[in-house]
Amino acid sequence: MSSGPENLAEKRVFTTGEAAAVCKVSQQTIIRCFDSGRLTGFRVPGSKFRRIPRDELIRFMKANNIPLEALEGARRRILVVDDDPAILKLFEDALARDNRFEVRSATTGYDAGMATESFRPHLIILDYMLPDINGNIVCQRLRSNPALKDTRIIFVSGVVDESEVRDLLNAGADEFIKKPFNVQALVRKIAELLGMEPAPAR
């Protein structure tokens, strides 16, 4: 994997050339869009160099159905929330087997909220019964934040209750997985939710 896209993925402000690379279009197209106001940004004070902030670029890309892959990098960030350290470790090991995922963990609902802000995960694996807060509440909070509306949520629980599962899905969860789970099936489900290839290229 090259370092270029990774660098791009880390940047907060883009030049028109970088934006063209991220969007896989010509620089002229970016400049035209910038000048017409469809892509907003600013000029470097004292010069005419155009600069585009990351958020604005993402908005533009989404508005024009341009895949965000290049911008966000190949590794997807996954936050695992569970009060059982052994479970957390299992998830980390299971997801780390292919290089496509970057995994962080949290043991409480509060930690999960903090980690979501800083880590900006693509997907959260939530244990339904957290020590301080119930999964559906976490789910509702995440969904009430517009910036996180694209974050996928998978619930995991050892207790299956159909009505609770229904409530969770209604609250905005994308998937429910029962403990114990099949590791391969879990990975397949995550890849599917994130629009990735079903299996890593080995």
The two three-digit tokens of residue 196, written as one number: 């990735």
> Which residues in the chain belong to E strands, given as ranges?
13-15, 42-43, 50-53, 76-81, 101-106, 123-127, 152-157, 175-178
User: Residue count at the site for another protein (CB under 8 A)?
Assistant: 22
Least Cβ distance, residue 93 to another protein (angstroms) = 6
Which of these ranges, 20-28, 33-41, 133-141, 173-181, lies near another protein under the rule CB under 8 A?
173-181
Q: Is 90 in the site for another protein (CB under 8 A)?
A: yes
CA dihedral 41, 46, 48, 50 (to 10 degrees): -30
Instruction: Report which of 98, 105, 97, 99 is spatially closest to residue 78, judged by C-alpha positions.
Output: 105
Count of CB atoms situated within 10 Å of the CB of 40: 13
Q: Is 162 in the site for another protein (CB under 8 A)?
A: yes
Which of these ranges, 10-18, 56-64, 114-122, 182-190, lies near another protein under the rule CB under 8 A?
182-190
Q: Is 158 in the site for another protein (CB under 8 A)?
A: yes
Which of these ranges, 12-20, 46-54, 82-90, 104-112, lies near another protein under the rule CB under 8 A?
82-90
Unique residue bearing structure tokens 């059982």: 84
Q: Is 183 in the site for another protein (CB under 8 A)?
A: yes
Least Cβ distance, residue 130 to another protein (angstroms) = 12
- Establish how many alpha carbons lie within 13 A of residue 123's alpha carbon, considering only the half-sphere containing its beta carbon: 25
Q: Is 94 in the site for another protein (CB under 8 A)?
A: yes
Candidates 129, 137, 147, 199; binder of another protein (CB under 8 A) is: 129
Unique residue bearing structure tokens 């690379």: 21
Q: Is 147 in the site for another protein (CB under 8 A)?
A: no
Dist CA 102 CA 90 (whole Å): 14
Q: Is 201 in the site for another protein (CB under 8 A)?
A: no
Contact 138, 81 (CB under 8 A): yes
Q: Is 114 in the site for another protein (CB under 8 A)?
A: no
Q: Which of residues 26-55 bind another protein (CB under 8 A)?
A: none
Q: Which residues bind another protein (CB under 8 A)?
A: 84, 86-87, 90, 93-94, 97, 129, 157-163, 178-184
